[in-house]
């Protein structure tokens, strides 16, 4: 009974588990990346695996249809439980604060990669926001560095290269699965932006201020136009460790990115220091931006092209797997056929096989009783072959009667009373006459003053008829043994 229950649980978990080889490969890479930390304590890895398995099973089995706020709350509560386990368990007292943070990063990364396809962009509202912000950015593709008061040197090759790198890092955010990986893309993008503000890799302009950083970040977001931007921001906000977003370099850069997206959603002519007519002309497409800004817009098309190429590569990989499985199945079927024919040849040598055509030609008519073993115990003097016989209906003549009973037969006025039936008595063999005679003896009560006795035939046997006082003929109380 317990094995059955366990198998049902395994099947329910198996039906919702992600068997994508890419996800499995990423999970293996996470284990390899954090293997030195997990080996610090003997039971650490098993405890973490158990906690992660229970959390993922709970999310997939019970909370897939729950609101995103509840899912986010459960995820943050899970992170806090892991941290409490590391702080309150005496087995992990030797771990430093940095190592505990790395273990918490491992827990977050492993569980979120496993649950990525269930938690990322799971609501219709996220998709609508993605389409809205993407459409808005396309309408603002004419906005250049001058409109945003960005200090970008277009003549410096290093500056241009850093701008392109920042755009590519922002585009790569959508391909990451774990929240900290998406944050890492944001951090690298912002570092490239600070390199642009500093005047390239040499840092000729010196350190940049936060007031100079946000306009360049807005400019990079407008030229990158990353896909599913709002979904990525929501995913990081909901399922990333809250302590990481509230402090540190990653939290600061992520906050600035959210501010840049909010600015793009609410941008107008006043924020760009433009008159309304010029703003409307740019929005309608009457005016276009300069050559360099137009070249940066190509990055969106290049990113979509790279996404399509990645999709084609994945389809190619799946097609190769299907072809390999088909060839494997074909080989198995061929081996099965050869094995079957070999076994059939061996059996053919041992046993004699009769063809159905020869058997039909040699068929002999048999009786149904030939296969009944009880027929051998029957008497041999009688013929027991069952042959159907037709029984004709009785012919009766009925006239008006002078008897007192209206439903009785008037034998006095009837010339003949005949009943056609099987001549059973006459067909009985001679040696069985005694049996037949004894079984068909009539019992007759005769009234006084009878003149003559006549015989009538009932069921093939001769039964005496006795005349009545009125001149008619009547059979009185004749009894025939049914045997």
Summarize pLDDT for 248-299 with one digit per residue, the tens. 899 999 999 999 999 999 988 888 888 888 888 888 877 766 655 555 555 5
d(CA 476, CA 445): 6
The predicted model scores a pTM of: 0.59
Confirm if 162 and 154 have CB atoms less than 8 A apart. no
Helical pair 210-224 and 179-197, crossing angle rounded to 10 deg? 120
**119-123, 354-358, 430-434, 463-467: which is most confident:** 119-123
User: Tokens at residue 270, please?
Assistant: 């006043």
Confirm if 150 and 215 have CB atoms less than 8 A apart. yes
Percent of the chain with pLDDT over 70: 64
At residue 436, the pLDDT reads: 41
Q: Is the pLDDT of residue 377 over 80?
A: no
What's the mean pLDDT in 207-223?
Answer: 86
Q: Is the pLDDT of residue 468 over 80?
A: no
Between 61-70, 311-320, 474-483, the lowest mean confidence (pLDDT) is in: 474-483
At residue 262, the pLDDT reads: 94
What's the mean pLDDT in 122-127?
Answer: 84
Q: Are strands 454-458 and 473-474 parallel, antiparallel or unpaired?
A: unpaired
pLDDT bin (cut points 50, 70, 90) of residue 142 is confident
Neighbours of 113 (CB within 10 A): 21
Q: Which sign, positive or negative, has the C-alpha torsion 23, 310, 134, 148? A: positive
Question: How do residues 307-334 score in pLDDT, each as one tens digit?
Answer: 678 788 888 988 999 999 999 999 999 9
């Amino acid at each position: 009974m317990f094995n059955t229950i366990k198998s049902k649980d395994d099947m329910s978990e198996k039906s919702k588990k992600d068997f994508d080889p890419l996800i499995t490969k990423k999970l293996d890479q996470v284990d390899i990346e954090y293997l030195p930390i997990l080996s610090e304590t003997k039971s650490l890895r098993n405890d973490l695996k158990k906690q992660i398995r229970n959390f993922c099973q709970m999310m997939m089995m019970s909370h897939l249809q729950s609101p995103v706020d509840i899912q986010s709350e459960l995820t943050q509560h899970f992170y806090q439980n892991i941290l409490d386990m590391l702080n309150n368990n005496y087995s992990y007292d030797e771990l430093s604060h940095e190592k505990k943070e790395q273990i918490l990063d491992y827990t977050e990364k492993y569980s979120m990669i496993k649950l990525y396809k269930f938690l990322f962009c799971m609501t219709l509202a996220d998709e609508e926001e993605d389409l809205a912000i993407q459409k808005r950015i396309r309408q603002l593709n004419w906005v250049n560095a001058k409109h945003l008061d960005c200090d970008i040197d277009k003549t410096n090759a290093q500056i241009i290269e850093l701008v392109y790198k920042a755009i590519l890092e922002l585009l790569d955010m959508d391909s990451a699965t774990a929240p900290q990986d998406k944050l890492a893309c944001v951090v690298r993008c912002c570092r490239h932006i600070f390199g642009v503000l500093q005047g390239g890799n040499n840092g000729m302009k010196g350190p940049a201020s936060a007031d100079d950083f946000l306009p360049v970040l807005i400019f990079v977001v407008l030229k990158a136009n990353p896909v599913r931007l709002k979904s990525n921001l929501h995913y990081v906000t909901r399922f990333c460790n809250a302590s990481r977003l509230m402090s540190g370099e990653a939290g600061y850069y992520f906050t600035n990115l959210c501010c840049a997206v909010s600015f793009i959603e609410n941008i107008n002519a006043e924020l760009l220091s433009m008159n309304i007519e010029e703003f409307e002309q740019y929005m309608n497409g009457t005016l276009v931006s300069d050559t360099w800004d137009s070249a940066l817009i190509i990055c969106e098309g290049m990113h979509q092209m790279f996404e399509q190429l990645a999709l084609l590569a994945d389809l190619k990989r799946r097609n190769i797997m299907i072809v390999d499985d088909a060839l494997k199945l074909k080989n198995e079927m061929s081996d099965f056929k050869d094995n079957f024919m070999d076994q059939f040849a061996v059996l053919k040598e041992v046993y004699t096989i009769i063809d159905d055509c020869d058997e039909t030609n040699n068929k002999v008519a048999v009786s149904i009783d030939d296969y009944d073993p009880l027929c051998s115990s029957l008497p041999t003097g009688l013929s027991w072959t069952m042959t159907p016989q037709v029984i004709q209906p009785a012919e009766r003549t009925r006239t008006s009667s002078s008897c007192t009973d209206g439903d009785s037969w008037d034998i006095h006025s009837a010339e003949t009373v005949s009943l056609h039936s099987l001549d059973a008595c006459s067909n009985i063999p001679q040696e069985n006459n005694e049996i037949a005679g004894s079984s068909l003896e009539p019992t007759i009560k005769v009234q006084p003053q009878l003149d003559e006795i006549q015989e009538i035939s009932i069921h093939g046997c001769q039964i005496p008829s006795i005349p009545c006082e009125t001149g008619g003929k009547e059979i009185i109380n004749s009894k025939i043994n049914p045997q």
